[in-house]
Structure 1
Amino acid sequence: MRNPPIHTISRDAVKAWRITAGLYESISWLLTIAGFVLYVVIDFPLWIVLIALGVTLVSTYFVVYLLPKLRWKRWRYEVFDQEIYIQHGILVVSRTIIPMIRVQHVETKQGPILKKFDLASVSISTAATTHEIPALSNEDASDLRDRISALARVDEDDV
């Protein structure tokens, strides 16, 4: 079996993922608050509201606090001359090898949350799929994009 990739993504990925998860979890909190309002206004069953509160609390803990750190610990990547090796996953660990000859284009992406932490993601497209290495520092993302692009071009020229 092959050794796991050695490069990790930025530690600030945890913060960015927590903010993103918090924004999604705010929908659950708004629905839970709406349940309390319904309980007060129209005598909505309290047990349903309390179950919603419990589910929202547990969900917030896992999605906002636990999962981003576990995701960060599992994310690894490595770029070789002939392939890109990506490993990620929490319960199911996915190991992907992308042959350099199959790479069609490489781009960096940066949304507002990643921009706040000076991070960017590298997106690697082949004919069939798109793979992403998330939350690298801007400098690392640009360097990686340029390196993969150069290696993919070299492979094309050799064919």
Structure 2
Amino acid sequence: MRQPPVNRIARDAIKAWKITAAFFVGILWLLTIGIAVMTSMYSFSFWYMLIGAVVSGLSTYLFVFLFPKIRWRRWRYEVFEQEIYIQHGILIVSRTLVPMIRVQHVDTKQGPVLKKFKLASVTISTAATTHEIPALLEEDASDLRDRISALARVDEDDV
């Protein structure tokens, strides 16, 4: 079996993922509070409020505190002359090889949360799908994008 890739994404990815997850879990908590208000106003069953609170609490623990750390530990990548090797996953670890000859274009993208931590993601597009290497330092993402682009161009010339 092939060795896992050696390059890691930036450690600040954990903070960025926690903030993003907290935003979505906050919406879930607002819905739970709405259910609590409806329960008290219209004499709904207490169980609706309890189930909402348990689901919201469990979601907060999993998506804000546990999964970002595991996700960071599992995310690795490596760029070779002929292929890009990507490993990611939380419960199921996926290992993907993207042949350079299949790369059509490479982009970097940066949302507001990534921008706050000076991070960017690299997306690698093939005819079939798009692969992403998330949360790299801005300089590393730019260098990686340029390197992949140069290697993909060389492969096209070789064909």
Which TM-score band applies after superposition, normalised by the shorter structure? Answer: over 0.9
Write the letter of the residue equivalent to 2:107.
E
Q: Paired residue for 1:110?
A: 110
Number of residue pairs the alignment of both structures matches: 159
1:123 and 2:123 aligned: yes
Partner Cα distance (1:21, 1:64) in 2 = 6
Summarize the alignment of residues 49-88 of structure 1 with structure 2, pairs less than 5 Å apart.
Answer: 49-88=49-88
Local SS of the residue matching 1:140: helix
Shift of 1:28: 1.0
Consecutive unaligned residues of structure 2, counting only runs of 5 or more, are none
8 Å CA contact retained: 1:35, 1:44: no
Instruction: Please give the per-residue CA displacement for 1:66-106, whole angstroms capped at 9, x wherever unaligned.
Output: 00000000000000001000000111110000000110000
Write the letter of the residue equivalent to 1:133.
I
Write the letter of the residue equivalent to 1:36.
A
Partner Cα distance (1:39, 1:119) in 2 = 43
Instruction: Please give the per-residue CA displacement for 1:19-67, whole angstroms capped at 9, x wherever unaligned.
Output: 0001111111011100111122111211210121111101110011000
Partner Cα distance (2:157, 2:54) in 1 = 59
8 Å CA contact retained: 1:7, 1:77: yes
Q: Paired residue for 2:7?
A: 7
Consecutive unaligned residues of structure 1, counting only runs of 5 or more, are none
Shift of 1:109: 0.4
Moved over 6 A (4+): none
Write the letter of the residue equivalent to 2:82.
Q
Partner Cα distance (1:125, 1:118) in 2 = 23
1:28 and 2:28 aligned: yes
Local SS of the residue matching 2:135: strand
Local SS of the residue matching 1:77: strand
TM-score, scaled relative to structure 1:
0.98
- Matched-pair identity in %: 70
Local SS of the residue matching 1:128: coil
TM-score, scaled relative to structure 2:
0.98
Q: Paired residue for 2:134?
A: 134
Write the letter of the residue equivalent to 1:147.
R
Local SS of the residue matching 2:155: helix
Write the letter of the residue equivalent to 2:58.
V
